[in-house]
Amino acid sequence: MRRYLFNRLWQSLVTLVLATIVVFAGVRALPGDPALALAGEDRDPESLRAIRQQYGLDQSWLVQFWQFVSHAARGDLGQSIRTGAPVRSMIASALPVTIELSVLAIFIASLVGIGTGVLAAVRRGGPAEWAANGLALLGLSVPHFWLGLMAILYLSVALGLFPASGFVPFFSNPVDNLHHLILPALILGTGLAAVIMRQTRSSMLDALSADYIRTAEAKGLPPKAVVGKHALRNSLIVVVTIVGLQLGALISGAVVTERIFALPGFGKLTVDAVFQRDYPVIQAVVLVTATAYIVINLLVDLLYSVIDPRIRVRGEA
């Protein structure tokens, strides 16, 4: 176990360092002189030189990279070119929105996905399986930003069931907060629910035909207990795995969902930064996302090896 842990940590660290290099190099590959962008209207050579010195742009790339890394490690992500606000505080205010949205989406998707997946496996060949399979296929094929648009058009505007846009912080009004987030989370969770449903169904089918289930049935356990206690246990592994695999899709989905529902989250920050060519913000956003992705994937893998001992053993081999 310790060796597996060490290997996994080491891999993540290497990936993180490489990702930092890519972000650093990527920002340097952006067209235009950052000093000019920072100077704005003021194109006087003297002030340009001052800016280069202030931001260390006159240093060698190696020195600049070290400064970038050491600043980032201390949580200093620079300042927005547009507003002058520290990037760290911009991210700190946007991130909770996205995290709440994603967690809610994962929760809804797990409920729907596991429920329909179990149903489809238990009621094999029946109309329930057909319906569940059809829904999953639809969930995978429908562009969810379009679904969001339709939901706003028909559920929010026409029927007035949900607010069409906006956000209320959880701690100022939890009920209102959920009321604003439930529809975006539902939309964001559609693809995830479809993937979870398919995996749950197939792992349930495998489990239901396994010997230990037949033993449980032979012992005379009622079907509900067999499904609930023995077969469903696998679902936890399925969800953990899929959340790990779909994390990238979830982050991408959150960007679009926030855009449609006008949520002041990480995604909106990202898209706005690109359109405003706010390079420090782009750099920070990409770095934070990559770091979060690597760390969460590491956690998922470790969690996975706790749930399923076989992974651990294979990792050691």
Partner 1 sequence: MAVPETVSGAVPAGVPVRSNRRRVVRRILHNPLALTGLAVLTIAVILAVFANWLAPHDPTQTHLSNAFSPPGTAGYWLGTDDLGRDVLSRIMFGLRASLHVAVLAVAFSLVIGVPLGLIAGYFGPVDALISRFTDLVLAFPFLILAVGLAAIRGASLGNAAIAIGIAQIPGMIRIVRSETLRLKSLDFVAAAIVEGAGDAWVLARHILPNAGSVIIVQATVGIPAAILGEAVLSFLGLGIQPPAPSLGTMLSDAQQFASRAPWAAVMPGVAIMLLTLAFNIVGDSLRDALDPKASRR
Q: Which residue ranges make up the site for partner 1 (CB under 8 A)?
A: 8, 11, 14-16, 18-19, 22, 26, 29-31, 137-138, 140-143, 145-147, 149-150, 152-153, 157, 198-199, 202, 205, 241-242, 244-245, 247-249, 251-252, 255-256, 259-260, 270-271, 274-275, 277, 279, 282, 285-286, 289-290, 293-294, 297, 300-301, 304-305, 311, 314-315
Q: Where do the H-state alpha helices sit in 123-173?
A: 127-141, 144-151
Strand partners, 86: 79
Nearer to partner 1 among residue 63 and residue 138 (C-beta): 138
Least Å distance, CB 274 to partner 1, is 5
Least Å distance, CB 300 to partner 1, is 8
Q: In 3D, which of 110, 255, 105, 112 has the Cα closest to residue 183?
A: 105
The three-point CA angle 151-153-154 to 5° equals: 70
Nearer to partner 1 among residue 177 and residue 202 (C-beta): 202
Q: Report the 10 Å Cβ neighbour count for 57.
A: 15
d(CA 61, CA 315): 38
Nearer to partner 1 among residue 160 and residue 220 (C-beta): 160
The token duo for 105 is 């989406």
The three-point CA angle 100-182-122 to 5° equals: 100
Q: In 3D, which of 278, 290, 207 has the Cα closest to residue 247?
A: 290
Least Å distance, CB 227 to partner 1, is 19
Least Å distance, CB 255 to partner 1, is 5
Nearer to partner 1 among residue 65 and residue 170 (C-beta): 65
Asked if residues 81 and 280 have their Cβ atoms less than 8 Å apart, the reply is yes
Nearer to partner 1 among residue 75 and residue 143 (C-beta): 143
Nearer to partner 1 among residue 141 and residue 172 (C-beta): 141
Least Å distance, CB 9 to partner 1, is 13
Residues 6+ apart with CB under 8 A from 247: 293, 296, 297, 300
Least Å distance, CB 304 to partner 1, is 6
59 DSSP 8-state letter: S
Strand partners, 79: 86
Nearer to partner 1 among residue 167 and residue 279 (C-beta): 279
d(CA 140, CA 145): 13
Least Å distance, CB 74 to partner 1, is 22
Asked if residues 200 and 235 have their Cβ atoms less than 8 Å apart, the reply is yes
Least Å distance, CB 126 to partner 1, is 15
Question: Which phi and psi (to 5°) does residue 81 adopt?
Answer: -65, -30
Nearer to partner 1 among residue 79 and residue 199 (C-beta): 199
183 DSSP 8-state letter: H
